[in-house]
Amino acid sequence: MSPKDKEDLIVKNILKNFDFEKCVIAMRALNWTWGFDNRVVTVPMLKEKAEYLIRESMVNVKKKEYSPLTYASISTGGLLAKSWKNKYNRVIKSKLYFIVCDWVDDGDE
């Protein structure tokens, strides 16, 4: 399988198995909209944005210098995509998250 075919398969499997409907239910319960025009989010909108983010995380990880934990992530609108590569600069896996809330404290004040 070519690297491109592997990436396409990863994207296809994520889009097929991720529960976008659950995300939409959560977003509607929270009155969560997208954009300056406050668009109510739909499953097709989420899928389109998810595919974009997954593919961008794949592009970005291949630009990074390799280390055993090499990954890249990109997020927007509650979706976060993360991709990892191997030492041959090939994407080996990707993950899609739906995040309602998060916080990072790096100890700086």
Interval 73-107: pLDDT, tens: 999 999 999 999 999 999 999 999 999 998 889 88
- In this prediction the pTM is 0.91
**Predicted confidence band at 31 (pLDDT cuts at 50, 70, 90)?**
very high
User: What's residue 68's pLDDT?
Assistant: 77
Confidence check: pLDDT of 57 > 80: yes
What is the model's pLDDT at position 106? 84
Asked if residue 18 has pLDDT above 80, the reply is yes
Q: What is the pLDDT of residues 61-78, one digit of tens each?
A: 999 888 877 999 999 999
Q: What is the rounded average pLDDT of the residues 19-44?
A: 95
Task: Give all strands (DSSP E) within 51-105, no chain letters.
Answer: 71-76, 79-85, 91-98
CB burial readout 15-51, b (16+ within 10 A) else e: beebebeebbeebeeeebebeeeeeebeeebbeebbb
Q: Tell me what pLDDT residue 10 has.
A: 98
